[in-house]
Structure 1
Amino acid sequence: MNFTNSFEKLDSLFDGFFEWLAGQYDPITGGFYYAKSSISDSSFTPDIESTAQALNILSRNELLTKMPVELRAKFVSFFQNKQDPETGYFLDENPHMKDDEVMVSRAFNYSINSLDRLGGSPLYPSPVELNQAPHYVNSEEEYVKKWKSISLVNSWRGCDLLASSCMYIGQMEQEKQEKMIQIAEKYLESIQDRQTGLWGEGSMYVRISGTFKLHTFYHKFGLTMPRVEKMYQSILHCLRTETAKDMCYIRNPIDLLSYINVEIPGHELEEIVQITVDNIEKLKRPDGGFSREIDDSPSAPNVAQVKADEFYPDMPVAVHLGKGLYEGDMNAGTQTTLIRLQLHKLAGKKVIPINGSGRFYELVENRLQEK
């Protein structure tokens, strides 16, 4: 198998990326802005997801152990200051965020994981410990009722809601947790499409993205996903025939392939890598970053799952993080670095940090001196 051309092309796409990333850092809060357009508008502030995504990028490029003490302390304070002492949740300033259960779940997981890898810890107990979790966590019957109430008419959004609801399982005491994991695993297997290995409705990319969301549940609790061979064939067919208009459509199949660990014939793996790199190239932006969508960077990623020509009931209010310009954004940036890692893993190749990543802290320091 020859991946040289594809991997060289992929690495060339990161030219200017770490300069862009350093430009998203806010030294006052210790957080990161979503996009360049977010920085110049006082209605936007550094947010939890963007900051955690920046941390993920640094981790994937072996920069966590090299992080200056002052910067690490800023990171820790940023996440700690986002936690609500009364509920245990981590929330940004936008008042609509708390009404989007997917955003709330993501923010909690991002914050807890970030604090853990930084050597910090939350200042307050979790929502379950504070009895602030939704009522359905109190019984197995209510949990299943909650799952059955979630529409999968758009698999990506619906499965995201399913996976998000499972965040509370991880906060339960072990005996109750183990029982809920078994119940969840049985329920998910019962609603999986036996022909495709996917879940829910929508286009192929939407269903693969929904399946990817559910993989986070399986991954968190070390479970094997069912019908992975069917899943692989669906992914391969989709990559060959559908247009990837969202960075998530590029990342989600690769993340799934990495997790399900099926044996991929060499010629098919070469094809998968080439298609993926070609798709990423379309989302590279002149500012050095990558955009989540083809036409522009979605201003409110919390509602970007459901496209203009798609439908999902009771969508939350858009939580805007940027102006939606033709620009790079943190959501796409973190995904691109993860795709790079996963492609190397699938190809059995050793991965080294992205060229130029080693200058990141110097770039941040230079920005601080300029100010």
Structure 2
Amino acid sequence: MHSLERLLVDGDELFNGFFEWFAGQYDPGSGGFYYARSSRTAEEFTPDIESTAQAMNIMERCGLQHSWTDSDKQQVISFFQSKQDPRWGFFYDDHPLMRHDDVMVGRALGYSLGALRKLGTSPLYPLPVDRHAAPDYCRSPEAYASWLRSVSLANSWRGCDRLCNSAPHLQQMAPAERGPYLTEAMSYFAEKQDAVTGLWGEGTPYVRISGTFKLLTFYHRFHIPLPRPREIYDSLLQALRYEEAVDMCYIRNPISLLSAMGLSLPAAELYEIADHTLQNMQRLKREDGGFSRELDHSPPAPNVAQVKPGEYYPDMPAAVPLGKGEVEGDMNAGTQAVLIRYSLRQLGGLADTHLSQSQHKFF
């Protein structure tokens, strides 16, 4: 067996117990999924939009989408449809602070629409752009250009997250209307990209790589190639070698960038990347079978980007807790771990086999 394939087959052992944990996050009463074990056992938390959409992604990626009965599918359809605000068309979780974080609102819109589309249905009510409830920056390309430049990139991760969460609103526009907005975005992104590193914004290497990954989602949504892929590759290789990955996002984002850029990688470097990645994932595996987003614990509010203790950056969002923040697995990390596993096989040109641990019925 090829050495890379042997490494990745051995790495599949990281998922022992994972699918038992995963099944335990499902709430058959609502059709949704909880974020973590502490979310399920504490009365103040309920299944949330992101965790449920991420769980659907896990099921689809692992070939489990057929394990849901028609009744199960209708439950999850009802879950997402019940989250839509009839007045404004956005999708909201129960926590009131969620409505004040444009990143969470934009992401919930994209997650909900994607999930309903996969389930073969649609929202119950008109979407924000159809009832003029889209953000103010959508009123004109000039307003959008002004908004783009107002977003701070002092923390690349948070800033680029805000920038790319304008994409769902642009996507709802007719192509002819969208064109000038995309022109403004591409012009601004080109202006702000570091010509040496290929990265955007400020922060530690992993923070900047994470911000770059966020912008990647914008480029991909509109089928636009990510610029300076070779410089980005050199930057992420340096980070893998010399920086500590204290967050699952720091492990997943380089792999997703590599997958998206489609570079031809030397075999030795690909093996090195896979080896570093699996070792980093091992540090985030928990006794309950899941993976934590962060090295010390599962973050109670995963919408807040990783910062150093006491650090502040402009536009820092209010924390929207989804769990207690214990040393436990969480859905955010779980969906990333699964994606990493399949992406590494794809990067190595290996067969897209499913995890053996997943091949039985859970629901």
TM (norm. structure 2) is 0.97
For residues 3-57 of structure 1, give each alpha carbon's deviation from its aligned partner in whole angstroms, at most 9, with x where no partner exists.
1342123210100111101100111111000000111111000000000010000
For residues 49-94 of structure 1, give each alpha carbon's deviation from its aligned partner in whole angstroms, at most 9, with x where no partner exists.
0000100000001122342111111111100000001111000000
For residues 320-348 of structure 1, give each alpha carbon's deviation from its aligned partner in whole angstroms, at most 9, with x where no partner exists.
10000000000000000001111111000
1:309 Cα deviation (Å)? 5.1
| Distance (whole Å) between structure 2 residues aligned to residue 287 and residue 65 of structure 1 | 25
CA contact (8 A) 2:5 2:350 kept: no
1:154 alignment counterpart: 155
Aligned residues: 362
1:211 alignment counterpart: 212
1:291 alignment counterpart: 292
1:76-155 correspondence runs (5 A)? 76-155=77-156
Q: What code does the residue aligned with 1:159 have?
A: C
Q: 5+ unaligned residues in a row in structure 1: which ranges?
A: 365-371
1:44-55 correspondence runs (5 A)? 44-55=45-56
- Taking only the aligned residue pairs, the percentage that are identical comes to 53
| Distance (whole Å) between structure 1 residues aligned to residue 307 and residue 150 of structure 2 | 19
TM (norm. structure 1) is 0.95
Instruction: Give the alignment's Cα RMSD to 1 decimal.
Output: 1.1
1:164-313 correspondence runs (5 A)? 164-308=165-309, 310-313=311-314
CA contact (8 A) 1:102 1:164 kept: yes
| Distance (whole Å) between structure 2 residues aligned to residue 269 and residue 311 of structure 1 | 36
1:247 Cα deviation (Å)? 0.1
57-66 or 262-271, which moves further after superposition? 57-66
Q: What code does the residue aligned with 1:156 have?
A: W
For residues 162-183 of structure 1, give each alpha carbon's deviation from its aligned partner in whole angstroms, at most 9, with x where no partner exists.
1012221101111011222222
| Distance (whole Å) between structure 2 residues aligned to residue 16 and residue 288 of structure 1 | 4
2:333 alignment counterpart: 332
CA contact (8 A) 2:167 2:221 kept: no
Matched residue SS, 1:230: helix
Q: What code does the residue aligned with 2:77 have?
A: V
1:252 Cα deviation (Å)? 0.4
| Distance (whole Å) between structure 1 residues aligned to residue 229 and residue 274 of structure 2 | 19
CA contact (8 A) 2:152 2:315 kept: no
CA contact (8 A) 1:56 1:334 kept: yes
1:304 Cα deviation (Å)? 3.8
1:351 Cα deviation (Å)? 1.9
CA contact (8 A) 2:226 2:261 kept: yes
| Distance (whole Å) between structure 2 residues aligned to residue 102 and residue 353 of structure 1 | 32
Q: What code does the residue aligned with 1:127 have?
A: P
Q: 5+ unaligned residues in a row in structure 2: which ranges?
A: none
| Distance (whole Å) between structure 2 residues aligned to residue 50 and residue 93 of structure 1 | 13
| Distance (whole Å) between structure 2 residues aligned to residue 273 and residue 193 of structure 1 | 26
CA contact (8 A) 1:35 1:329 kept: yes
| Distance (whole Å) between structure 1 residues aligned to residue 326 and residue 203 of structure 2 | 27
CA contact (8 A) 1:19 1:360 kept: no
For residues 93-120 of structure 1, give each alpha carbon's deviation from its aligned partner in whole angstroms, at most 9, with x where no partner exists.
0000000100001111000001111112
CA contact (8 A) 2:158 2:305 kept: no
| Distance (whole Å) between structure 1 residues aligned to residue 310 and residue 257 of structure 2 | 25
Alpha-carbon spacing, 1:166–1:200, altered in 2? closer, same or farther (3 Å): same
Alpha-carbon spacing, 1:262–1:301, altered in 2? closer, same or farther (3 Å): same
| Distance (whole Å) between structure 1 residues aligned to residue 303 and residue 355 of structure 2 | 28
Q: What code does the residue aligned with 2:19 have?
A: F
1:369 alignment counterpart: none
Q: What code does the residue aligned with 1:64 have?
A: Q
Residue 7 (1) aligns with residue 11 (2): no
CA contact (8 A) 1:289 1:327 kept: yes
CA contact (8 A) 1:245 1:293 kept: yes
Matched residue SS, 1:328: coil
| Distance (whole Å) between structure 1 residues aligned to residue 347 and residue 210 of structure 2 | 19
| Distance (whole Å) between structure 1 residues aligned to residue 152 and residue 302 of structure 2 | 20
1:194 Cα deviation (Å)? 0.3
